[in-house]
Structures are given as C-alpha cells and as structure tokens.
Structure 1
Amino acid sequence: MTVNKQQSTGGPIRWGIIGCGDVTEVKSGPAFNRVPGSSLLAVMRRDPDKLADYARRHGVPKTYASAEQLIQAPEIDAVYIATPPGSHREYALQVARANKHCCIEKPMALNHRECEDILAAFDASAGELFVAYYRRSLPRFLKIKQWLEAGRIGSVRHVSWRFTRPPSPRDLSAEYDWHTDPAVSGGGHFIDLACHGLDLFIYLLGDITSAQGVAANQQGLYPAEDAVAACWMFESGTTGSGFWNFGASARSDEAIIDGSTGSIRFSIFGDSPFVLETAAGTEVSTIEHPENIQYFHIENMVRHLNGELEHPSPGRQAHKATWVMDRILRGYQAERRDNEARPQQAEMRTETSTGQSAR
C-alpha cells in the first residue's frame, strides 16, 4: 500500500537526532540549524553526560533518554538516525509507524533484506525516507554528472576505483570498534566507506545489475574483512571494478571514468582537483567541500519536503548500494559462516561419539 506523503505546513522542519556521535559533530548536526527552513530541536544518546554536553555545545533545546521518546514527541517532524547500521532497521520501522520523515545514516541497513523491510514500512507511512548519501548533492560531483550528460568523454566504457590506507591506531589496538564488528556494521571498513562510492557510481552511471567479488582478512586485526576486490556491470553495459585495502603502506583514493573519447579522474572522499582529459586537452576543476559536508543533502531534504524538488537520495535509490555490497561479499561471508560452524560441528560429533550428548 502506498499512502500520500506529508509535505511541510510552511514552518521549519523540526528535526530530532538519534545517536549524536562523531558523525553529527561537524558533518551533519550543525547544518540542521544552518539550512533555511530547518531546525534541530532534539537529540537522543544513551550516555546522559555526553547527551547533555552535545546539546549544550550545539544549542539543542531538547534531549531524550530513549529513541522511542524522541520519535513519538509530537513536536518532531523528522528523525535523523545516526546510529551504527545494526540499529537502523529497528529505529526506521518505529519512525515509519509514527508517520514521521526519516533520514538514515549510510549504509541504509546491515543487508539488503533489512533495506527491503524499511522500504516496505515507508511505503505504508506518511513519512518520507532519505539516506545520507550526500555525495549526490555535492557540487563537485554534480559537475562530473554535467560532464557525463554533456557527452564530454563520449560513451562511458568503464569506471574503476582504488582505495587504500594503512591500518589506523584504533585498528592496531585492542580497543573495540563497531566499524569492524560485522554484527553491528554489516562488515568492516569496506561496508562503511565503499558504499559512498558505489552509490555515487549508480547516481552517475545508472543501476548496477550484477556484481561479484573476493575478500580476505589479511591482517587478522579484527573480525571483518580488510581487503576486497570486485567487478560489476551497469544496466547500460558499462563495466566497473574496485579495489579496497585497509592494511596498505599508504593512502590512495582515485576513481577513473573512461569513455570512448576521454576520461574523468577524481577522488571519492577528498576535495582535490578533478580532471577531464579529452583530445581537446585537459580541464582541471576544483570545488571544495562545504564545512558541513551534509549541508546540501539536508537543504535538498527540506526543499523536497516543501515540494520544491525531488531529493536525489531517497530510500528507493539508497538500497541499491547495499545490494551491490551484499553481492560482492556474498562468497566471503558464506565461507566465514562455514568456518565458524565447523568447530561447533566437530565438537558436537565428538560429544556424540563419547555418548555425552547422545539422547
């Protein structure tokens, strides 16, 4: 069932944030008050001291001890879920039942099956669903999209992305990090970071119809994969490939879109110059990121809710990157589940053979 979606009544969109952690300090949180027609009214975090500190520093008037209280608060129009992916489905379903608008941090959920549950819930809700793939709203990537649509490199043949970095101090320590706990994040740093680029490629080049990959845990520093290689196919016939390694000697981040008459070279995460190369010569453009990198994403949500435009990153688009990552990691995750099951199966066979568990 699809219901008519609510639009703004003319006042500011009043936001509440669930999980006001690091991602909301600069990237997103302040922009909810800086964007015209938007107001950050409330925040929720389980740690009461950190909650109070965040509200004080960011000038947020209301705090809530539980996500349910914030979601049900009548003064809240829209909820930004900024928690780890393991809780996205649970909170999103609550927001949908409350008929509130919702923005979910990326990736949308632990896996594509959970994404489908969220999409179904918002199909039956009066609330709109967005996901924080903010690169679809950043001017530097809109410039690349303009180049592609203008045919500056002819027909697109292939896109490739290489991302490497050394292990972080946190990776090397014994300190717990939810980013590398598959039960909470869905995987490792690949899930956290690759989703941005894959979603951007879908935005620039169209839907991906098939994908496959290999992965490994080369360093043994944490439970998740730290090396991934993949290839995929777009609906148009354009091919794609990627390589991500989180135990390399140096950081690199370069994407290349190759066409029949030229190429575009750029960074997914940095704001270094991006380069268009054709037979006519080389064109270099520099468009820096805004201070709050989600500013234009939030502005577009507000304008969408006011009926001014269609947001480029609705839930119906955002789930596609998760589908691709599921396909890339499918073999690795199946093998990991098998390896985890083997010791248990061996133990059961041993107990049975000695009569300890035979019933």
Structure 2
Amino acid sequence: MKPTRASRITIADIAKKADVSSATVSNVINDTGRMTEETRNKVRAAMNELGFVKDYTAARLRTGRSKLIGVLIQNIANPFYGEFSATFEAELSKHGYLPIMANIGESLDRQAAMIDEVIAHGVAGIAISPVAGTTPAALENIVSRGLPFVTFVREVNGMHCDFFGADDHHGAHLAAQHLLAKGHRKLGVIGGLASTSTGEHRLSAFMETVNHNHDSAIELFTRRCTPSRDNGRNAAIELITEHPEITAIFCHNDIIAMGATAGLKSQGREVGKDIALVGFDNLPEAEVWNPPLTTIEMFPKSIGTEVARALLAQLDGRHVGPLVNRRPPVLIERDSSRFQLEPQKASVS
C-alpha cells in the first residue's frame, strides 16, 4: 500500500518494499557502498513507487554536510551565464550537489546581501563572478567561515583563491590584430567597467597592441559603459557622431556589440559593409546575428565544468590551490568584420 501524502516515507518503508536491508536503502539514497546494479535499480523503483523525495535539510542535520552550492552572477539573462550554468550544474549533479543562483548585477551592497543569504541557507560552497569594485574585504564573510569558493570570469586583485576565466589580454590582442590587418587605422573601442579585471585587461591589451604598431596614422577613440544592449547602442552613437572617420569598433562583449549594431544602423552605418565590428564572448546568438558577429570565443561551458570540479576538489579535501586557469581564447571571424580598407601587416607584440 502506498503511504498517503500526509505520511512520511521512511527508509524502513522502502527497505520493506524492495525486500532489502535499511543499510542498503541508505547507501542508494546517499550513493555510497557497493551493490549490484540490479539491487540499486530495485531500491530506486521502490522509492519511485512510494513517492519518496530525499529531505536534504534532514540529511544535512544528520551528516553536517550541505549539498547546496551558491552561485552569484551578474545577470542570468545573459546567455554567457546560461551556458556556464548548464555545465556547472551538470558536473555538480553527478556528485549530488544542487546550485542555487542569485543575480547580483553590479551592486556591492547586493553582492554582500546575497553572500549572506546563501550562507544563511547553509551552502557547502560558493562560486562567484564578482561585481565591479570587489576587493578581498568584500569576500571576507566567505573566507572567515572557511567556505570553499571559486571566482570566475572576473578576478579580484590581491585575492589568493581559485579563478577560472579567459585570457582577456590575449583575446583583445587578437581583436586588435584582426582589425589592423584589415587596414583599419581609425578605431573605436567600447570598453567595459574600469573597476573589473575584464574591463581593464581587454581595453589595455587592445590599446597596447595598437600602440605597438607604431603607425602615425592610427587614432583610437574610446568609451566605457556597463554591459547592456542599450548602453552599447548609445556608446556607438556617441562614438560615430563625434568621430565619423571611425571604420572599425571593438566591443567589450557581444551584448554591447549587438547594441552597437543598432546604434550604428541608426546613424546610417552598415556593419560589415562600411564599418567593421568585433565583440567578445561568442554567445550562441552571435552566429545568427545580422550580420553574423566576429567575436572572441572564451568557452563558457568549459569554464562552468572547471569551476564545478574545483569546488568539488575543495569539498572533498583534494584541493592543491589556489588554481588559476586563464583559458586561451580564439578569434571567430564572421561577416561583421569583413569590411576592410587596404590590408596592411599588423605588428605582433
């Protein structure tokens, strides 16, 4: 007889149904111990028939270990974080962990509040893409508790901890080389926030590569903005209105580049035909954008897997960190940068 919804299904109920010991049921629930696959499947079938759902709160009280992982990101609506989250969750779920996600935008106050919140929910560890202006002191509430944590995408200056992201410097270097090689000498840049590692590294690397070219004809015009389509649109309009001689623009990320496409179009410029445009991230949308967007691939799915594995290593006592992995990015050339002037050889720094 299947217990009513009001009744609490126990290990003993499952053991009786499956005709096994309570210890065997416990091992199946916690994915421990040795048994045949036939026995494991028999216990799982009994659990399903009885409508058993594991109580993680009770399990944490018994074992002292949580199966929740806090994940703090800028904006879940950004497809980059969607790709990251898919592989991050898949890797954690293999080991029985469940991520709980929170948007923190670019607010230090919200970041602090969400750190407190996930800690209050008893998370076993935290993965965080820090907001602009984050310092080691801003993460002290995590460190002081000895919680396993990993930063990703953005680094925190002076913070000795695991980090996984892209080599932003090299990615921007590739973008600059690409545009210079197509003969562009009047260049625009729409950079990200100055108080983030990504914003600093991408802009500085692009400028360094351009300056290394030692060409007196080169002019560089810059704007910065918080990454969004609206901000990208507005920044592109400002750049092209004040400097109509610009023939190519490099954007901090694809979201900004997509907004810039609309902004340029509103000013009578056609991306790929009379101005070149390069983004950064290689979002799924970039390939089907109009025109398809030249961009820098930074492999968010691989980063998601690596962050999850680093957290699991800390949780299992296998940590040998801090681990720092800045994955080499790749330029993906598409139609948005096909417009070129007289091709010239760009210097390689």
Name whichever structure is richer in helix by fraction: 2
TM-score, reference length from structure 1:
0.35
TM-score, reference length from structure 2:
0.35
